[in-house]
Amino acid sequence: MKMKKANILSCVAISAIVLSGMGITNVQASDNTNVSIQEVAERSVNPEVQNGGKVSDDFQDVSKNNLGYASKFHIFAKEATLNAHTNGNLAVGSLFGNVNFGTNITDEKLLDKDISYVQEVKNMSESSFVSSNDHRTNKVVFGEVNDVELGKDNTSPLVNETPINHLLNNEIFQDKDSNEYRKLQEQVSHFGKIKKS
């Protein structure tokens, strides 16, 4: 028993060294081993990317709708796999975006802002979303588990190293500071999987 405990503590000590090299400081090599998960998640959050805020700020008129926030999205699912073009916005927990998507309405009378939320991008096409114009803009909020980088020197923003060619830097947002689209994500998690082929 003492040998097993010593081996476990050795592994914890090695893990502590590795994690401290990553900037994670809340590690103890003892019987009460404690690693701050929040600090692990925060390493993906880019301070240059705007805070996504709260879903209730973007959609203030859902209280009278039986579908709630789901009524504001073309696809509202825990997981979505897109294999055919999707003409609409989405709110998903996990996205397997093998093709482009986005609302192709450019008339300001019909749509002035297209809002999407993706908690975790598994993969996404570079041509996803529809470029803004004089009549409409985009707001796309990504979960904190994604690596989001703003474009520099006329390059496209990157999400998990994939360039997103149809979005501008000021249209990219990320969950931060507990002001997450969490209420939306809680609803999304109750829905199932969608596969569009």
Instruction: Using alpha carbons, select from 144, 147, 167 the residue that is nearest to residue 157.
Output: 167
Lowest mean pLDDT among 10-14, 53-57, 120-124: 10-14
Domain ranges of the chain: 2-42, 50-196
65 token code pair:
């709708």
* Model confidence, pTM: 0.74
Strand ranges of the sheet holding 148-149, from the earlier edge strand across to the other edge: 148-149, 158-159, 162-163
Q: State the pLDDT at residue 19.
A: 36
169 vs 186: CA distance, rounded Å:
27
Instruction: Using alpha carbons, select from 134, 85, 95, 145 the residue that is nearest to residue 116.
Output: 95
Query: What percentage of the chain exceeds 70 in pLDDT?
Result: 67
- Model confidence pLDDT, tens digit, residues 67-97: 888 899 999 998 999 999 889 999 999 999 9
| Residue 117, strand partner residues | 91, 141
- Model confidence pLDDT, tens digit, residues 171-195: 999 998 776 675 676 666 656 666 6
176 vs 53: CA distance, rounded Å:
8
Q: Count of alpha carbons within 13 Å of 89, Cβ hemisphere only?
A: 19
